[in-house]
Amino acid sequence: MPHATDDIIRAMQSPSSEDQKAIQIAYEFAKVAHGEEKRKSGEPYIIHPTAIAVTLAKLGMDRETIIAGILHDTVEDTPVTIEEIEEKFGATVRFLVEGVTKLSKLKYRGVERHVESLRRLLVATANDIRVIIIKLADRLHNMETITFVEPIEKRMRIALETKEVYVPIAERLGIGLIKSQLEDLAFKTLEPERYKKIHQFLEERGETEKEALDRALNDLRKALAEAGIRNFRTESRVKNVHSFATKLIRKGNDPDKVYDIFAIRIIVPTLEDCYRSFGVIHNIWRPIPGRIKDYIASPKPNGYRTLHTTIITPHKLIIEIQIRSEEMQQESKFGVMAHFIYKNKSQGSEPGKDSKIGWVGRFVPSLMKMTRAEKSLTQTSAPTPRWLTDLNTAAEEFEGEEAFKDALREDFFARRMFVFTPKGDVIDLPIGATPIDFAYAVHTNLVDLMSGAKVNGKMVGLDTELHKGDIVEIQTKKIGTPNKKWLDYTKTASARRYIRATLKKKENKS
């Protein structure tokens, strides 16, 4: 029987013999630790960390991240301690496993502001973005095996959380590979009937048009070769179920108006080749007007770069053609990680040596770029999530990427803390915030009715400074207004503004 670590090692890009040895050791360690534990499917638990490690390897993650993926559930579910992990696998792996364990304690309650908090918390906690990537890989496998989760309410909660928290994160990070899978799995769980119908439609369409699509691919390859384009490759894809469903609604439920059900991707070596191929295509096929998009000159907010055009073949098949360089292809699949992979490869640096710095350095500026680009978009449907807005505001206060990076690490995140409601909802507040700030953050009206507060089960004064991780419970009365004194106890400007306005209103009335 082939060993499970073979799958992991095969998915890695040129692993060294030390990499292989280290992964083997981590695998054996996790297997022993999980022992007889089973997944809900009845399979041995170890298949879960193995699946995650394979995903991480495919994403081109470094050795430490893959090992942390293998070990990610050991501290939470087995007698293994975090100290033991550090002793056997080093400080970086410990840090990553600790981060993932911490994140798994957070719960989703389906309230808008808490979704935002959770997204932000995910990003903030991962001072090191590798923690988030492990979490995304973990979520992917959990979604792949979600049919075994009972009861159905739990399944729905996980799927909703996936859709509202994890899909947006994968999208912002530009990791198309994970984003579209998560999106379809969540859709399948939340709306099984609609998913089934659309999935079936796409499959049938793919079946009937297969021949025409193959012929188009052949014609295209021939034309590119004749035009002297070297070393190109092509792939074709059918649109993923969720994005087709979304587009279908936008197009008044007329599938004939969805022009990108089928797409052919051309991957060429260089940027110049992209534009040259573009010309070749328009030479052999008729482009549909208004469908030519140069996302190389103007990348999408998440950094996506590719040339798009839509054509009609002589066999009346409408196909979207996407042209990109190898580098752009990596970016669209791996997002922010693409640069990391490239950098690591080209410098042949030791994995994990100073990659943590590399991660933050790369991640933050690209997030900055995203938020800036996003701001300038006029047609964005969803409002910018608050965690992005906050990052953006912080970004604008500092000049230069270096300064911002430092500021973010030492200043911005260091000035924020996360506290919890008794139900486990996450509330983020500035350091030094009091129960009054907390009440305002939970619900504006809560400030009016506030009569007292408990922190970690103990009654406290309303001027008490909260600390990170505190569980805060607000006590209320039936009717009330804020006390003027509270203005001195309030750390957040928005809460102070609200209290002032409420007091003024009351004065005017009397």
Catalytic residue among 77, 410, 463, 488: 77
Q: Of 118 and 261, which CB lies nearer to Mn ion in the complex structure?
A: 118
> By CB under 5 A, how many residues form the interface with Mn ion?
2
d(CA 455, CA 435): 8
Neighbours of 388 (CB within 10 A): 23
d(CA 395, CA 363): 13
Least distance CB 139 / Mn ion (angstroms): 9
Least distance CB 77 / Mn ion (angstroms): 8
10 Å CB burial of residue 440 (0-12, 13-18, 19+) is buried
Least distance CB 348 / Mn ion (angstroms): 32
Omega of the bond leading into 289 within 30 degrees of 0 (cis): no
Q: Identify whether 77 is a catalytic site residue.
A: yes
Q: Of 70 and 441, which CB lies nearer to Mn ion in the complex structure?
A: 70
H or E segment and range at residue 451: strand 450-455
Q: Identify whether 7 is a catalytic site residue.
A: no
**Contact partners, residue 440, CB within 8 Å, separation at least 6:** 446, 447, 490, 492, 494, 495, 498
Q: Which of residues 423-482 bind Mn ion (CB under 5 A)?
A: none
Residue for token pair 């500026």: 365
DSSP string, 140-176: HHHHHTGGG-SSHHHHHHHHHHIIIIIHHHHHHTT-H
Least distance CB 471 / Mn ion (angstroms): 25
Least distance CB 422 / Mn ion (angstroms): 26
138 is a site residue for Mn ion (CB under 5 A)? yes
Least distance CB 66 / Mn ion (angstroms): 14
Q: Which of residues 81-100 bind Mn ion (CB under 5 A)?
A: none
Q: Of 26 and 241, which CB lies nearer to Mn ion in the complex structure?
A: 26
User: Which stretch in 131-139, 150-158, 342-350, 482-490 sits in contact with Mn ion by CB under 5 A?
Assistant: 131-139
Query: Cα-flanking dihedrals φ and ψ of residue 275, to 5°?
Result: -70, -35
Catalytic residue among 6, 28, 43, 76: 76
Q: Of 73 and 473, which CB lies nearer to Mn ion in the complex structure?
A: 73
Query: Which position's Cβ is nearest Mn ion?
Result: 138
Q: Which pair of structure tokens corresponds to residue 214?
A: 């193959």
Q: Of 71 and 499, which CB lies nearer to Mn ion in the complex structure?
A: 71
Least distance CB 137 / Mn ion (angstroms): 9
Residue window 204-243: x/- pattern of binding to Mn ion, with contact defined by CB under 5 A: ----------------------------------------
Residue for token pair 């499959």: 203
User: Distances from the Cα of 510 to the Cαs of 42, 506, 507, in angstroms?
Assistant: 68, 6, 5
d(CA 416, CA 106): 17
Q: Of 69 and 358, which CB lies nearer to Mn ion in the complex structure?
A: 69
Q: Which pair of structure tokens corresponds to residue 393?
A: 């505001």
62 is a site residue for Mn ion (CB under 5 A)? no
Of 19, 62, 64, 73, which lies in the binding site for Mn ion, with binding defined by CB under 5 A? 73
Give strand ranges (E) for 239-334: 262-268, 286-287, 293-294, 307-312, 318-325
User: Which stretch in 26-34, 67-75, 180-188, 471-479 sits in contact with Mn ion by CB under 5 A?
Assistant: 67-75
Q: Of 73 and 128, which CB lies nearer to Mn ion in the complex structure?
A: 73
Pairing verdict, β 262-268 and 318-325: parallel
3-state secondary structure of 459: strand
Active site residues: 76-77
Q: Which positions touch Mn ion (CB under 5 A)?
A: 73, 138
